[in-house]
Structure 1
Amino acid sequence: MAVQLLLTALCVAFVALNGIEGATEAKYKYVAILQPSTFFEAWQDCNIKGGHLASIESPQEQARVEKAMAKARDPRAVFFFGGTDLGRKGRWMWIHSNKPIGNGGYTNFFPGQPDNGGGSQDCLTVGVADGYNRGKWDDQNCLYRLDGYICAFKSTSSSAS
C-alpha cells in the first residue's frame, strides 16, 4: 500500500513538472518494446530513452501503434501504454499530457472495460490479438510485469509510425 501511494505521488509530481503538452497534432514515432516491465518501469524507461508512454487519441494513432506492435513479432504480447486513473479512480488520464482519456472522443476499450477488476487495475494495456480484439484496451494492475510497453518519440518526418 505504501509503495502504491509513493508511486502515485511520483506520477502526480511528474505530470506537474512536465506540464501540459501544447500541440495535439504533433507526430510521433511509436515503438513497441518487448521487455517485461511494470507500468512504472516502462514509464521510466521511455523517459530515459527520450520519449514517453504512448497516448492514443485518434484512430490514426491507434493504427500506428498497432503497426509498431506488429513489428514486435509476438502475437500474444500485451503492452502498457500511457493511460492511468491513479490520481482518481475512474478518471482516466494520459500520463504524458494530463489530458482526460476520451476527451477528443476516441477510446478503444474491450467491451465492459475498464472494470477495475480486483480493485487495483489503474494502468492501461493494449494487446495484439487478431480479429475483433486486435488493439483493444484493457485496465491492468500497474505493478504486474507485462510483456512490454509502447513508447512515443517525437518525429521529424511526415511518415511517423
Structure 2
Amino acid sequence: MFDKTLCSSFLILLCVQLLAATTTKLVPGLAKVPGTNLTRSHRNSAVNNFPINGLPPLTYSTKKYFFYDEGVTFLEAWNLCREKGQRLAAIESYQDHVAYKEQVAPYVGYETSHWIAATNIGASSHDYRKFYWITNDRPIGYINGFSNWIEGEAPNDNDLCVATYLGSAMWIYGSCTSSSSYACEEPHDV
C-alpha cells in the first residue's frame, strides 16, 4: 500500500513539473515580463488588442502595437520597424489611443518613452507646429482633429520627433537624435 501511494505521489509530482515546464516556455523571439505571466509580444494571438479578459474595449481599434526596449534614435526606430515588416506606430484617433494605452500597459516601468511616427522634420520655419505622421504623410489631426500633447498643444520648435510618455500615452517631444524605446504597428493599406 505504501509503495502504491509513494509511486502515485511521484507520478503526480512529475506531471506537475512537466506541465509547469511546458507552460513557461516562450516562443522564440518573445520575452517574458518579470513577475507576470505576460510576454512582450503577442504576435500569434488572435486577441492582440484585447485586455486580459479577452473582450474588446468599448472604443475599438484594429491596430496591433509592438513595443521594443532598445534605445535608438527616431530614424533608427523607423528603419527597425520597417526591417520587422512593421511601421512606426501612428496614433491617429481616440480609438487608436485607447488601444495603444491598453497594449503599452504591461511595459510601463521598463522605459519612460516610446518613439511614435509623428515629427515636424522638414517643416518650413513658419510651420513648426505642423507635425505629420512619417508613415503616411498625413498631418496630425487629419482624420478627426485628434492629438494628445502632454502640454496641450504642439511645441513651437523645429526638427522634433514625438514619443509617448509612460502608460498615459501622452505625447512628448524631443530631439530626433535622442535615444528612446520605440513602438511599431502592423502596416495597413492606406
* TM-score strictly above 0.5: yes
Tell me, in whole angstroms, the C-alpha distance in 1 between the residues paired with 2:89 and 2:147. Answer: 14
Name the SS for the 2:96 alignment partner: helix
> Mind listing any 5+ residue stretches in structure 1 that lack a counterpart?
1-25, 156-161
Correspondence for 1:100: 139
Amino acid at match of 1:124: V
Correspondence for 1:60: 95
- Per-residue deviation, residues 19-45 of structure 1 (Å, max 9, x unmatched): xxxxxxx93211121111110110010
Tell me, in whole angstroms, the C-alpha distance in 1 between the residues paired with 2:85 and 2:121. Answer: 23
Tell me, in whole angstroms, the C-alpha distance in 2 between the residues paired with 1:56 and 1:73. Answer: 18
Q: Which has the higher strand share?
A: 1
Name the SS for the 1:28 alignment partner: coil
- Higher CA-based Rg: 2
Amino acid at match of 2:166: V
Instruction: Give 2:162's match in structure 1, choosing from 114, 124, 134.
Output: 124
Give the Å deviation of 1:76.
5.0
Correspondence for 1:136: 170
Kindly tell me the number of residue pairs found equivalent between the two proteins: 123
Greater relative CO (CA pairs within 8 A, separation 6+): 1
Correspondence for 1:153: 186
**TM-score, normalised relative to structure 1:** 0.69
**TM-score, normalised relative to structure 2:** 0.59
* Contact 1:31–1:65 under 8 Å retained in 2: no
> Mind listing any 5+ residue stretches in structure 2 that lack a counterpart?
1-60
In angstroms, what is the RMSD of aligned CA positions? 2.1
Q: Tell me the percent identity.
A: 27
- After TM superposition, the structure 1 = structure 2 runs for residues 4-43 of structure 1, keeping only pairs within 5 Å, are 27-43=62-78
Instruction: Give 2:104's match in structure 1, choosing from 69, 77, 81.
Output: 69
Tell me, in whole angstroms, the C-alpha distance in 2 between the residues paired with 1:127 and 1:61. Answer: 15
Name the SS for the 1:69 alignment partner: helix
Give the Å deviation of 1:70.
1.3
